[in-house]
Homo-oligomer: A and B are copies of this chain.
């Protein structure tokens, strides 16, 4: 008989199951994850998970929620103060720091939610929405076309997340450098943006 692991309090057990869930969900994706694998990793039997989270979907919801909360909090802190450009770079750096330090959480957010119900394509589109709101306010104040603000908001988030995904495979150069480049690109792009961009297709040579 293998030596029984010590019993844990309810909340401690919850935490260890969440950790295991994040680990497995990140690698296999929601659909391909089996509750049994999570149980095995958390060194518990299946019913414990059902006891605490009601099922696979319940656990997934908790994991996602926690992760989402964490990123949003971190980014909010980072862009809370400073000049605009500073806030931009700090925001990018905060996100990339999350990518670096919590790759499993990032993988989950970047992947798809459970296909059922027809939710959003990616959890991150929610983040894009928030950034878009910030941009809409700024565009109105600056005399730009507010209708176009979501384009830039989502472009920014897409930029950072996609580079983040790439970075996790290469892990080089250091994220500080990456953040600097991205911030420079976005800042220069926004800074020199015409009030009403026109297509080169509508301009004669």
Give me the interface of A with B, judged by CB distance under 8 Å: 27-29, 31-32, 85-86, 89, 107, 110-112, 115-116, 120-122, 124-125, 128, 147-148, 150-152, 154-163, 165-166, 168-170, 173, 176-194, 197-201
Name the distance in Å between A180's Cβ and chain B's nearest Cβ: 4
Residue contacts A-B, CB under 8 angstroms, 19 given: A29-B112, A29-B115, A31-B31, A85-B200, A111-B112, A112-B112, A121-B169, A122-B165, A147-B173, A148-B181, A154-B163, A157-B162, A176-B199, A179-B199, A183-B200, A185-B186, A185-B189, A185-B193, A188-B192
Q: Give min CB distance, A127 to chain B, whole Å.
A: 10
Interface of A is mostly: helix
**B-side contacts of A160, CB under 8 Å:** 155, 158
A43 to B195 alpha-carbon distance, docked (Å): 53
Q: In the complex, what's the smallest C-beta–C-beta distance from A59 to chain B, in angstroms?
A: 17
Tell me whether B151 and A158 are in contact (CB under 8 A). no
Among candidates B115, B173, B189, residue contacting A27 with C-beta atoms closer than 8 Å: B115
CB-CB under 8 A from A199, the residues of chain B are: 89, 176, 179-180, 183
A51 smallest CB distance to B (angstroms): 26
Neighbour of A162 across the interface among B89, B154, B184, CB < 8 A: B154
